[in-house]
Structure 1
């Protein structure tokens, strides 16, 4: 029996008013894979991530996590929204790191990581503290666990946000342009943490404009253009031999870093 994909999107659609932002997205992410979404601003990348994490409700198609429909089930020809209890349980299997750090300013780095462990997973303070210290150490912040967000650089705050997400042991970790709010000199430290997670086997779906990083870390790259998948494949194919004219144009913005096909 073939195991189902960890994440599978089928013909996912999303409309805001009269604007169709997602026009039928198909995507599969397998256990241990790093899949990257690239494309110009407004192509639908972030909206798609938010639909996976139920921060936006997709209007059509189906998203499956471990074979289970996310957010909705089909009742005959109609979609039926799952109960909030089931939606919350699905969200708990997904981790997401945003452009903004979203740390609680009145909590230390350790307390920010501990919060979900105690409030959502019901762990004791002692167990949550041990887990928080472990992951803060993994992201290079073992000596900053007692610091408040205002005492940390932007890169350090984003690393705390990553530790907070990973500490919950999600099945899939979503990254939405997590370096876009950082000063250039801080980008490398966050990408290094993400590289380490990828090498450890974490299943990741990420949106990024850091093309060299995407090329080096991804198993599969998906180029979105105007709400549709214009080309998808392994990094060597996407960056070394792009077949889609829009993809060629998009990569051309990166000053000749990649070969042109």
Structure 2
């Protein structure tokens, strides 16, 4: 059975002033898939993620979630931005975990996870506390639910951020280089949680330089170069048969891994 397309990008373009960062991105993420974006810094990976979550506004093209355009409607032949209320409702269906943990320092781990559940989803505090406890347990932090961010390691803070995102039951979960700010010894614990989420069937769009993780967990890998999709396919195809010198050079940085 072929799973339905959850996210579809068609000809997505984005410029910052005179610099065109995304030059017509086309890709699909099917329900239950892990799709990883790889490529050198500056290739447009993070910008694309931010456009999916409407943290950046794309200039042209369409991004569809469950068939619904994200951020824009075409009315009378003109492209119009949706209301902030409508955009917020769409964002609630998309979770995002950032490089920096973005936890509220004055809230405990439990309260950080509870906040969106009460403010956005309208859960009672009791309901939110139960859900927060469940997901903090899933990421191995049940015993730290009363700790503040400064009392947690970087890896623990990132796992709280992941619990917060998953607790909202998003249709799609975005990961933007979530291990890049961590000390090397903490990377494995975060990747382990991501792997468990993937195995549970969570639909994930991942930007990562952790190539072994990408190879082992992804269903589909997209190599981006200078704002374009340069090659895409299964991990075996992308890592085993790089079609361009650019991809061969990029993978060459991870000598010994492949």
- Aligned partner of 1:255 in structure 2 is 255
Tell me the alpha carbon deviations over residues 225-256 of structure 1, each in whole angstroms, 9 at most, x when there is no partner: 00000000000011111112111110001113
Distance in 2, Cα, partners of 1:155 & 1:60: 37
Distance in 2, Cα, partners of 1:224 & 1:255: 19
1:49, CA displacement in angstroms?
0.1
- 5+ residue gaps, structure 2: none
Q: TM-score under structure 1 normalisation? A: 0.97
Residues 4 and 31 of structure 2 are in contact (CA less than 8 Å); yes or no, is this contact kept in structure 1? no
- Aligned partner of 1:58 in structure 2 is 58
Distance in 1, Cα, partners of 2:175 & 2:257: 23
Residues 132 and 167 of structure 1 are in contact (CA less than 8 Å); yes or no, is this contact kept in structure 2? yes
Secondary structure of 2:205's counterpart equals strand
Q: Count the aligned residue pairs.
A: 257
- Aligned partner of 1:72 in structure 2 is 72
- 5+ residue gaps, structure 1: none
Matched, 1:156 2:161: no
Residues 4 and 67 of structure 1 are in contact (CA less than 8 Å); yes or no, is this contact kept in structure 2? no
Tell me the alpha carbon deviations over residues 58-105 of structure 1, each in whole angstroms, 9 at most, x when there is no partner: 000000000000000112432111111211110000000000000011
Tell me the alpha carbon deviations over residues 182-218 of structure 1, each in whole angstroms, 9 at most, x when there is no partner: 0000000000000000000000000000000000000
Distance in 1, Cα, partners of 2:167 & 2:3: 26
The structure 1 segments of at least 4 consecutive aligned residues displaced by more than 3 Å after TM superposition are none
Secondary structure of 1:6's counterpart equals strand
1:220, CA displacement in angstroms?
0.1
Distance in 1, Cα, partners of 2:3 & 2:256: 40
Distance in 2, Cα, partners of 1:76 & 1:250: 45
> How does 1:10-25 map onto structure 2 within 5 Å?
10-25=10-25
Distance in 1, Cα, partners of 2:231 & 2:76: 33
Residues 50 and 56 of structure 1 are in contact (CA less than 8 Å); yes or no, is this contact kept in structure 2? yes
Residues 6 and 30 of structure 1 are in contact (CA less than 8 Å); yes or no, is this contact kept in structure 2? yes
Secondary structure of 1:206's counterpart equals strand
Deviates more, 1:245-254 or 1:72-81: 72-81
Residues 3 and 30 of structure 2 are in contact (CA less than 8 Å); yes or no, is this contact kept in structure 1? no
- Aligned partner of 2:83 in structure 1 is 83
